[in-house]
Chain A
Amino acid sequence: MNPEDETGLKLAFKEIEDIEERDDASLDLLKKRLLGVAIVVLFFFVIIILRLWTLQITDGPEYEKRSYGNRVRIRQIAAPRGHILDRNGREIVTNRPSFDVLLIQEDSNDIGDVLKRLSPVLGVDINDLWTKVREAAGNPRYMPVRLKEDIDWQTLAYLENHNREFSGIRIEVQPVRVYHYEDLAANTIGYLGAISKKELDESDKSIYSGEDIIGKKGIERLREKDLRGKKGQSYSEVDAKGFEQKQLEKVEPLSGKEIRLTLDVDLQQIAESYMAAGEKSGAVVVMEVNTGRLLVAVSAPSIRIKEFIGGISQEQWKALLDNPKHPLINKVVQATYPPGSTYKMVTALTGLAKGAIDENTGVFCPGSYTFGNRTYKCWRHSGHGAVSLNRAIGESCDVYFYQVGQRVGVDALSEYAMKLGLGAKTGVEMEYEKEGLAPTKKWKLKNRKAKWQDGETLSVAIGQGYNLVSPLQVCVMTSALANGGKVYRPKLVEQVVDLEGTIVENFAPELVSQLPGMEKYFKLIRKGMEEVVQGKAGTARNVAIEGLRIAGKTGTAQVVRLAQYRGLKESAIPYEVRDHAWFTCYAPADNPEIAVTVLVEHGLHGGSGAGPIARAILNQYFHGKLDVKATGKVEPVIIDQDDGTIE
């Protein structure tokens, strides 16, 4: 069937034998347009011929010169990465040059021979060299193959003097990182590594290529853009034997921006050495109460940067993953724990704000509290007697807070916990931050498919229920209590300075939320917190420093119910089921400057397990100010237990 028939054209189609031209207007029109098409084609033909004329006849001799045994080599020059300093300008991470040996296959007249002679010079097995060359088989032959990194001076001198013997071999200078304080703040600062295929695919190809070293973790990764700088290029001519003839042009690399952190090396070192001394695992956070600057961020045990330089082996990686102390996890934000008694300030604030208690509310503590058909114990089995709010915080009386919790209910507790920065990400520049949890009735229905039990509110009120907090959140909460309800976003970067010395980013406090009109409640809570350290019966009396008023709170987070271990000596309880120890504080009490939060995993008690570390930090920070003397050493004092036990 001819398609023309269906279209119902004006002209009927007549079947006559072999008509050369069909009398068809529309077809003719279409064919006329072919002339226009031919003109376009011819236009391109002329353009291409003219271009060939220009390239081959006009500029031919010049191109011929360039190709006569010469080829242009474009080489990337790595940019020095920006330095990382502490708040006082002390260098934590800088660079030094590393000399690498590269092979450009295309330039080498006999790869086998060159590798054979190079092997003893580099001290690398010939098979290993071949393996490296084979691995690069998929790349164009002008791409360099890195044979050995960071050669020593003797090798470098030898290769430089005998360079005519090794065709296609080139020495490249690469900046590599130097860590002046070894693993200081390693989990925060992070490390570098070779760019992975996936990262390369998703990156900007004009900036990254397959050989690059990029930030893999921590500030190094998060601030990659600031730190990386801009590569340079050198264009040089290479003759047929693969030796560079002359440099045509060079674009110098631009080094990355310098980052000045808010961290303080001295304080960080003290915190880290205290954690390391007892092989403790956990976290230490120090924050400026009125700005949100982080002066210390310790996650113990720390990763060892050395293990990550030049890529980490599978076995090493697995060992780190399986390590029960989890060095890969940045416990400042990535680990969450029950807050224990440090939560009692939240309970107190909720009680005051909701009018369930006031400063004169007294509760009698006989050592336990019966609710429903269960008995909830106070950690001091002999009881605290009549307690006011001040004493309840100071001596961490569980019974008092059971009752407050019972009066306000769990949803109110959650509301005020959130207002103090718990149960939500703080927004700090650290990776994989966890939200933690401030439980509500709704949450339980949704996630546990069960109704909230009133008894559970009692556990939440003393920080032993479903609540989960990160050490950083506790530090933010402590700061908020100290500064009158302002929640600041914790920050790690003080300044970013570009290579001209211009400050491109400067620290500014960032207020996340605040609780107005509660100053009188905060005052009451703060007084109780002073009692903890300064009071005769405070749970952290041993933290006290002469000449400095400190306010704080101890806490114990249960790992498991300790019933089966009750009555055992502490040393007899297996490490992995021992309680976590919290201590959080701020100082000076009357005009707070910094908040210090310490969490020691399986450290048993806040006062003895975590307190001394906080004390050492406060001592370092304040000595020389406020008549505080440097002690240098802290005697741990074994003090009262403090745990809310539920039976």
Chain B
Amino acid sequence: MIRIDRRLIEHFDVILLLLIFLVCIMAFFNLYSASFPPRVSGLPPYVKQAYFFLMAFGAFLFVISFDYQKLHSWNYPVYVTVIILLILAETIGNTAGGAQRWINLGFFKLQPSEPAKLMLIITLASYFSRKELTEGYSIKDLIVPIVLTAIPFVLILLQPDLGTAMMLGIIFVSMAMFVRLKMSTYIVMGSLALGLGIFAWEKVLRPYQKQRIWTFLDPEQDPMGHGYQVLQSKIAVGSGGKFGKGYMEGTQGHLHFLPERHTDFAFSVWGEEWGFAGSAIFIGTYFLLILWGLYVAMYAKDRFGVLLAFGVVALIFWQAAINLCMVLGFLPVVGIPLPLFSYGGSSLMTTMIGLGILMNVRMRRFPNSLSKD
């Protein structure tokens, strides 16, 4: 039974919603330019993205309709479902770019590695909020969350989707560090990670997977592929100058060609067409949204709320940081999209549901606001 509480409407965070809309509108205009002139048959990407946005916004509304406390009890069924989906994707998924990542639902290609990110945030938030240790967590306290993280991590690594697997690792590390660890834990975890890494390198990874990691560490090895893209991206952003070349005026032709992975370079189109001024405005808005997310965490009413909000912010922030560093030539190409800004339904859906959780925490920031049905 959901009873609409008057206070929920009162506490609805207009600023958060406004920031989300601002970023999405910029993304939409940018995509319109980036996918012009249309090359592929079928619906142009910006139209598809509009549909994706409507679907994602529907999900957002659904997520804010119930009390986030329910996530405690839903956590495990959701966890198990996502794991099953991951295994299904491995066995019956369509092969996209040589990797098993999709389950085709007809109207929507479900990428179970996407909900896995959210599921991990909810799982870890729930665990850390129920198990509270002010003096810091020891390695023994971390065994359960490590195992819970490792299962989807390994499944996604096998796909192989190094980018998403890395994100899961980053979420875990961020959240664990946030709740505070004992010094001894850091030492044990560090050596454990090192040992596992060496073991995987020696025993588990196939030669071509090692090669991917090498290419990732040293993109110069692959000048025709990734190195080329980064160079072109830098030229695009740099040539934007102070005020850009103007909307739809970008000349970096290869970005008009949008196969799946080029969507990661959406920001270089923006940088070229709007210049430093436009880029600063966009980056400013985007980081305002991230900081606002931290503000939401600041005023959450309980530990679970703080952790959920923090997790969502961490997810969006790290993806954005990695994507922007890549587009600006700091990092090799890793295939991580810019949340809300890159073309792609799965990523948008994940981000919007995450932001729904954030809004949920915001709306129910006062005690007694119906924590029980």
A9 adjacent to B367 (CB under 8 Å): no
| Neighbouring A residues of B28 by C-beta, 8 Å | none
Q: Across the two chains, which residue of chain A brings its CB closest to B218? A: A206
Bound complex: CA A71 to CA B129 (Å): 53
| Neighbouring B residues of A141 by C-beta, 8 Å | 253-254, 257
B306 adjacent to A63 (CB under 8 Å): no
User: How many A-B residue contacts, CB cutoff 8 Å?
Assistant: 189
CB within 8 Å of B: which of A354-371?
none
Bound complex: CA A349 to CA B143 (Å): 67
| Neighbouring B residues of A63 by C-beta, 8 Å | 234-235, 237-239, 241
What 1/0 mask marks residues of chain A from 66 to 99 whose CB sits below 8 Å from any chain B CB?
1111011010100000000000000000000000
A56 interface hit (Cβ, 8 Å): yes
Report A15 CB to chain B, min CB distance, Å: 7
- Given A30-B303, A48-B324, A9 and B237 contact (CB-CB distance below 8 Å): no
Q: Which of B132, B240, B366 has the most CB of A within 10 A?
A: B132
Bound complex: CA A477 to CA B215 (Å): 48
- Given A26-B134, A33-B178, A34-B294, A1 and B372 contact (CB-CB distance below 8 Å): yes
| Neighbouring B residues of A203 by C-beta, 8 Å | 208, 211
- Given A51-B328, A64-B241, A72-B231, A209 and B290 contact (CB-CB distance below 8 Å): no
Q: Across the two chains, which residue of chain B brings its CB closest to A40? A: B317
- Tally of chain A residues near chain B (CB < 8 A): 64
Q: Which of B162-170, B222-230, B345-353 contacts its partner? A: B222-230
| Neighbouring A residues of B251 by C-beta, 8 Å | 67-69, 240
Report B102 CB to chain A, min CB distance, Å: 16
| Neighbouring A residues of B294 by C-beta, 8 Å | 34, 37-38, 41
Bound complex: CA A51 to CA B271 (Å): 12
Report B33 CB to chain A, min CB distance, Å: 16
Q: Which of B17-25, B185-193, B279-287 contacts its partner? A: B279-287
B239 adjacent to A60 (CB under 8 Å): yes
B306 adjacent to A106 (CB under 8 Å): no
- Given A26-B303, A49-B283, A7 and B254 contact (CB-CB distance below 8 Å): no
What 1/0 mask marks residues of chain B from 185 to 223 whose CB sits below 8 Å from any chain A CB?
000000000000000000000111001101100000111
A31 interface hit (Cβ, 8 Å): yes
- Given A59-B238, A60-B241, A63-B235, A2 and B214 contact (CB-CB distance below 8 Å): no
Bound complex: CA A59 to CA B222 (Å): 25
CB within 8 Å of A: which of B92-135?
98, 129-132, 134
Bound complex: CA A49 to CA B280 (Å): 7
B321 adjacent to A34 (CB under 8 Å): no
Bound complex: CA A6 to CA B130 (Å): 8
Report A595 CB to chain B, min CB distance, Å: 39
| Neighbouring B residues of A76 by C-beta, 8 Å | 224
Bound complex: CA A238 to CA B297 (Å): 51
| Neighbouring B residues of A42 by C-beta, 8 Å | 287, 291
Bound complex: CA A106 to CA B262 (Å): 15
Bound complex: CA A147 to CA B271 (Å): 36
A18 adjacent to B368 (CB under 8 Å): yes
B252 interface hit (Cβ, 8 Å): yes
Bound complex: CA A141 to CA B223 (Å): 16
Bound complex: CA A487 to CA B214 (Å): 43
Bound complex: CA A596 to CA B179 (Å): 78
Bound complex: CA A61 to CA B238 (Å): 8
Q: Which of A16, A33, A68, A233 has the most CB of B within 10 A?
A: A33
A57 interface hit (Cβ, 8 Å): yes
A30 adjacent to B237 (CB under 8 Å): no
Partner of A18 from the list B240, B307, B321, B367 (CB cut-off 8 Å) is B367
Report A453 CB to chain B, min CB distance, Å: 48
CB within 8 Å of A: which of B344-373?
366-368, 371-372
| Neighbouring B residues of A209 by C-beta, 8 Å | 224-225
- Given A4-B303, A69-B251, A60 and B132 contact (CB-CB distance below 8 Å): no
Partner of A31 from the list B236, B291, B297 (CB cut-off 8 Å) is B297
Report B321 CB to chain A, min CB distance, Å: 5
14 interchain pairs, CB-CB under 8 A:
A1-B372, A7-B132, A18-B368, A26-B134, A30-B178, A31-B297, A34-B306, A60-B238, A66-B238, A68-B251, A74-B224, A76-B224, A204-B207, A206-B211
4 smallest beta-carbon distances between A and B, as pairs: A63-B238, A206-B221, A67-B239, A60-B241
Interface residues of B (CB under 8 A from A): 72, 98, 129-132, 134, 178-180, 206-208, 211-212, 214-215, 221-225, 227-228, 231-232, 234-242, 251-254, 257, 259, 262, 271-272, 275-276, 279-280, 283, 287, 290-291, 294, 297-298, 301-304, 306-307, 310, 313, 317, 321, 324-325, 328-330, 366-368, 371-372
